A = this chain, B = another copy of it.
Amino acid sequence: MIGAESLVRTLLASGVDTCFANPGTSEMHFVAALDRARGMRCVLGLFEGVVTGAADGYGRIKGTPAATLLHCGPGLANGLANLHNAERANSPIVNIVGDQATYHAPLRPPLTTDTEGWARPVSRWVRKVAQVQELGVAAAEAVQAARTPPFGIATLILPSDVSWNDGGVEALALAVPVPAKIGGERLREAARSLASGEPTVLLLGHLALSAPALGHAHRIAAKTGAKLMAPTFNGRIARGVGRYPIRMVPYVVDLAVEELAGTKHLILAGAGEPVTFFAYPGKPGIASPRDAAVHELAGAEHDLVHALAALADELNCPPAPQLKHAKLEIASGPMSVEGAAQTLAALLPDHAILIDEAITLRAPFFAATANAPPHDWLQVPGGAIGGGLPLAVGAAIAAPDRRVVVVQADGSAMYTVQALWSYARENLDVTTIILSNRKYAILLKELAAVGAVPGPTALGLFELDRPNLDWVGLAESQGVEAARAETLEVFVDLLRGSLTRKGPFLIELIVE
């Protein structure tokens, strides 16, 4: 058996049956092996950022890794930004990067670069396999590394000769550890802080934002008066009717500081301290007060549902209070982002997956969907632009019975616009709402924040209206049906239609 076949068979044996791919010549034996060892679903992306972002979305929804297939160091490079996001989301991914043959690379042919060095900052596990006999075991270890809590990216670099040489050995799946349970002093320390009566914030990240974990957190908040918050950007939050609401630390530093002012105890459960997205002259880099005591209840690698349940029990918290949700109505009247958000919340199907790369227009969508049917809310926690559209590819493939809705800023959408083609190729049930304000609105705000008046050069770099991007055209050119909404009435009709049909649809929503 050649190496490539041992790799494919080991991946399948380890439960990896989906591969997001943008292959090249050095990956040909792998591709050929896919047609010999059946069972791997391959999804083509026309750009590597689509591939890695899709693998991120898949991992977040499925909880187990897909594989990628990338072409040498430069192919990996094109996927790094979304791997950076995936790393911050603790997504499990088996990231397979083909490379020049071991004996050829020293001659420095084209495409030769420091593939390992580029992979390392986004990977918890990197291995360049040098011998065909080792490939099967390395693949099993890669899957294990990706699935070991808190999950992460395992990059397997596959020189083409290792792929084509004979002597491959299919390896058995390796055991995956379960997340460790916390107890003892961590628990008691957090309980003491919560019982102290002093202002306490419980900051929840990762699986502490799952529905059961949020339920336990609300038991604690109801009993102790603690404030519950999530970081500014998160991999996945369980939201909507039947789920306990959570607010996020604001992006704007002054608002975040205000929100957390007076906190005496900061308890971390799957989150770090509330580090600001950027530094600004004269502003703090951590939004919580410097004199707040920080208590780490549990890290992302721990069993966070258990940790919060144990903490609630330690405090003798009664069951969580019954939830009340406002009834939602479709909005009417003149176009507004708030009206569009309310309409989305009213029409959202049960158990939708909502992907948020809305940037400056996030707040109204987040607010309105608190009362939407139950859904998962996915963000771009690494801050690398262009996560939104690709996440939907992977999420839709991981959960074919769920509707995916992308709420997407126009400027950011352009970075990985090729994802739309994959929606069409795979006929994915993805509704994309492009918030077309024709500017990098966040940068105009940020420029104002540094005290500068935008001159012609700055405006030239922030305004996207010369020429306007035609999002209907960009979608239809890639096989995705689309339409433009300039009034709320049209938006309501388009959204309703898109949410009840099979396959992808894109709405260009013209906003201020």
Q: Mark A418-452, 1 if CB is under 8 A from B, else 0.
A: 10010011000000000000000011001101101
Q: Is A117 part of the binding interface, using a Cβ–Cβ cutoff of 8 Å?
A: yes
Nearest opposing residue in chain B for A477, CB measure? B473
Are A109 and B275 neighbours in the complex by a CB distance under 8 Å?
yes
How many positions in chain A have a CB within 8 Å of any CB in the partner chain?
101
Q: Is A197 part of the binding interface, using a Cβ–Cβ cutoff of 8 Å?
A: no
Q: Is A173 part of the binding interface, using a Cβ–Cβ cutoff of 8 Å?
A: no
Specify how many copies of this chain sit in the oligomer. Answer: 2
B contact residues around A470 at 8 Å (CB): 476-478
Are B44 and A460 neighbours in the complex by a CB distance under 8 Å?
yes
Are B467 and A278 neighbours in the complex by a CB distance under 8 Å?
no
Are B443 and A23 neighbours in the complex by a CB distance under 8 Å?
yes
Are A452 and B78 neighbours in the complex by a CB distance under 8 Å?
no
Are B121 and A114 neighbours in the complex by a CB distance under 8 Å?
yes
B contact residues around A415 at 8 Å (CB): 46-47, 78, 418
Are A477 and B469 neighbours in the complex by a CB distance under 8 Å?
yes
Are A479 and B468 neighbours in the complex by a CB distance under 8 Å?
yes
Are B466 and A233 neighbours in the complex by a CB distance under 8 Å?
no
Q: Is A77 part of the binding interface, using a Cβ–Cβ cutoff of 8 Å?
A: yes
Name which of A28-36, A144-152, A218-226 contacts chain B.
A28-36
CA distance A277 to B418 in the complex (A): 27
Are B31 and A447 neighbours in the complex by a CB distance under 8 Å?
yes
Q: Is A388 part of the binding interface, using a Cβ–Cβ cutoff of 8 Å?
A: no
Q: Is A325 part of the binding interface, using a Cβ–Cβ cutoff of 8 Å?
A: no
Partner of A74, one of B110, B281, B384, B442: B384
Are A101 and B279 neighbours in the complex by a CB distance under 8 Å?
yes
Q: Is A196 part of the binding interface, using a Cβ–Cβ cutoff of 8 Å?
A: no
Are B117 and A88 neighbours in the complex by a CB distance under 8 Å?
no
Are B80 and A118 neighbours in the complex by a CB distance under 8 Å?
yes
Are A25 and B442 neighbours in the complex by a CB distance under 8 Å?
yes
Q: Is A358 part of the binding interface, using a Cβ–Cβ cutoff of 8 Å?
A: no
Are B447 and A32 neighbours in the complex by a CB distance under 8 Å?
yes
Are A424 and B467 neighbours in the complex by a CB distance under 8 Å?
yes
Nearest opposing residue in chain B for A452, CB measure? B32
CB distance from A470 to the nearest CB of B (A): 4
Are A110 and B77 neighbours in the complex by a CB distance under 8 Å?
no
Are A464 and B383 neighbours in the complex by a CB distance under 8 Å?
no
Per the 8 Å Cβ criterion, residues 218-261 of A in contact with B are 233
Nearest opposing residue in chain B for A38, CB measure? B457
Nearest opposing residue in chain B for A445, CB measure? B25
CA distance A404 to B452 in the complex (A): 37
Q: Is A326 part of the binding interface, using a Cβ–Cβ cutoff of 8 Å?
A: no
Are B121 and A117 neighbours in the complex by a CB distance under 8 Å?
yes
Partner of A455, one of B35, B71, B418, B478: B35
Are B467 and A479 neighbours in the complex by a CB distance under 8 Å?
yes
Nearest first, the 4 closest Cβ-Cβ pairs linking A and B are: A35-B455, A467-B479, A110-B383, A473-B477
If A77-B84, A103-B279, A474-B477 are given as contacts, then 5 extra A-B residue pairs at C-beta distance below 8 Å, sorted by A number, are A25-B442, A25-B446, A117-B118, A117-B120, A118-B118
